Structure 1
């Protein structure tokens, strides 16, 4: 399922959401410009579970932050930015700019820790905004369960576009992450980070909410 847009208009310009997308885009283009050396950048600025587990959270906070703005492939990057654009503006609208930025970073850190705890001896660097964006999805799930998400559903050679309530769209997304973590266990995709980020966002969103309508 590919989300196209939702039916909740923002009352304020989503400055932080747009800024995050711009920064992620600039970093991604820089990564691509490096060619084969891109891997060196990932190892230098990604967060390595073994290092975080050994040296502690405080010493690795810088890398936990830089890792959130890096991606490993076009689909990884484009998918994350699409979800952030569609769901981030409304969550930012309810929190205000500064609160939303802190919420985004904190849920991203929690998502990273969830992944690290699953494999604390791994020396493979973790990168991507997926954990923090999962936190945004968790926040949206709580704040706007009755919103409608215009969704593109490819079925073999057919394409269907329908409106799906956010409760079901995001609920299915969350269950899919649990399914993948349980039955696939793919190490190239940090499904546990998605689960941890989403859960953190759903639990913390009320503490960060500033505006109520």
Structure 2
């Protein structure tokens, strides 16, 4: 059976410049090694220490099949990594993983007295990308092209599987191969070493806030605080609140019902909504806010309004988030640069309104934006201008 990653549903905030460039570079280098007839000069030799080989072996392959398989994996997981951190940092991460892995393997083999043998291929660095994808986007899916045959049965199909499942199964198979079959430095050991380096890089980026995983990283997933699972009313399994597993009880004992004034009842409801926002329970806070808005228009303060809008965006509740973004822009225009960027992105992508998106961004100062939002704003401007130039008119909005 053959399975090759051909795509992903992970959000891509950057074009895959480095990923495509690395694929082209590997293909060119393979052609050079084949035409020159000297592929051994690119190999990571186990008998000595040579830092040049730490780089060259990453761009050498044993044959067309080896190259093809690696390039498909580089495409699938390179999209996820580069989609979050851009081309420059992706290139640095790729080279660091490959060089560190090569240095570790060569040092271990030399220390063990190896006099022959070697390794080549991009798979160790690519396994590092797979490990990083596991840390940054475990719930996103990779699209696999699967080719299966058994005797006279041949099947080809496309299968979507989560990054977490695919990476864990693949690395588990490599571990089993290393322990049972290889029992030495084979491809499984090289893969696992690259993956370990990638895991370290992935964790470091998350813990130092060098990457924005939008609260969908492995730590949020294992803690049950991602997406809808951050809302105790919808969480399941070990993360669920047992008192909510069968819904809220509307039955009250008469003696427990206190007589309050209309204002005090409103304040209690507002405190509840504020508490839900502060604890990250954005979906329930949004539902309860609807009732509050019927009693008093725009009850939230600036901080909680922004926090709730961002939380709903991370939970894929775009319609609810867009209403709050418009309110934020209207009420706090001087501090609404980030909200205008998110709103412009929604206007362009969800509502097909390039003109409205550009009007929002005209009021944004790039100096007030984070690096991620600055990149997003530039991408929206570029795409919106292209659509306007092509004659696309703003569609009628539903909200």
- TM-score bin, normalised by smaller chain: 0.7 to 0.9
**Alignment equivalent of 1:141, drawn from 125, 134, 140:** 134
Q: Which residue is equivalent to 2:31?
A: 29
1:185 aligns with 2:182: yes
Kindly report which structure 2 residues correspond to 1:100-179, keeping only aligned pairs within 5 A, or say none: 100-116=90-106, 119-120=109-110, 121-151=114-144, 152=146, 154-156=148-150, 157-159=153-155, 160-179=157-176
Distance across 2 between alignment mates of 1:186 and 1:179: 10
Q: Normalising to structure 1: TM-score of the pair? A: 0.84
Q: Which residue is equivalent to 1:55?
A: none
1:136–1:198 CA contact under 8 A, matched in 2? yes
- Change in Cα spacing, 1:200 to 1:42, as seen in structure 2 (3 Å) is same
Unaligned residue ranges in structure 1 (runs of 5+): 53-59
- Offset, 1:186: 7.8
1:28–1:70 CA contact under 8 A, matched in 2? yes
1:114–1:193 CA contact under 8 A, matched in 2? no
Secondary structure of 2:93's match? Answer: helix
- Change in Cα spacing, 1:127 to 1:87, as seen in structure 2 (3 Å) is same
- Change in Cα spacing, 1:93 to 1:3, as seen in structure 2 (3 Å) is closer
Distance across 2 between alignment mates of 1:179 and 1:117: 24
Kindly report which structure 2 residues correspond to 1:68-79, keeping only aligned pairs within 5 A, or say none: 68-79=58-69
1:114-147 per-residue CA deviation (whole Å, 9 max, x = no partner) reads 4335533142232111111111111011111111
Secondary structure of 1:4's match? Answer: strand
- Change in Cα spacing, 1:191 to 1:25, as seen in structure 2 (3 Å) is same
1:84-120 per-residue CA deviation (whole Å, 9 max, x = no partner) reads 0111022012223222222111211232244335533
**Alignment equivalent of 1:85, drawn from 75, 90, 94:** 75
Q: Which residue is equivalent to 1:64?
A: 54
Give the count of matched residue pairs: 201
Distance across 1 between alignment mates of 2:167 and 2:81: 14
Distance across 2 between alignment mates of 1:186 and 1:105: 27
Higher relative contact order (CA 8 A, sep 6+): 1
Distance across 2 between alignment mates of 1:66 and 1:162: 34
Distance across 2 between alignment mates of 1:99 and 1:5: 21
Q: Which residue is equivalent to 1:20?
A: 22
- Change in Cα spacing, 1:65 to 1:72, as seen in structure 2 (3 Å) is same
- Change in Cα spacing, 1:188 to 1:48, as seen in structure 2 (3 Å) is same
Distance across 1 between alignment mates of 2:63 and 2:21: 21
- Change in Cα spacing, 1:188 to 1:105, as seen in structure 2 (3 Å) is same
Distance across 1 between alignment mates of 2:79 and 2:91: 12
1:137-165 per-residue CA deviation (whole Å, 9 max, x = no partner) reads 11011111111122225252242432211
Secondary structure of 1:10's match? Answer: coil
1:16–1:97 CA contact under 8 A, matched in 2? yes
Distance across 1 between alignment mates of 2:193 and 2:186: 14
Unaligned residue ranges in structure 2 (runs of 5+): 215-399
Distance across 2 between alignment mates of 1:122 and 1:95: 41
Segment of structure 1 superposing worse, 15-24 or 98-107? 98-107
- Change in Cα spacing, 1:148 to 1:31, as seen in structure 2 (3 Å) is same
How big is the alpha-carbon RMSD for the aligned residues of Structure 1 and Structure 2? 2.2
1:3-58 per-residue CA deviation (whole Å, 9 max, x = no partner) reads 23221242211111111111101011222324xx2xxx232222212212xxxxxx
Secondary structure of 1:161's match? Answer: strand
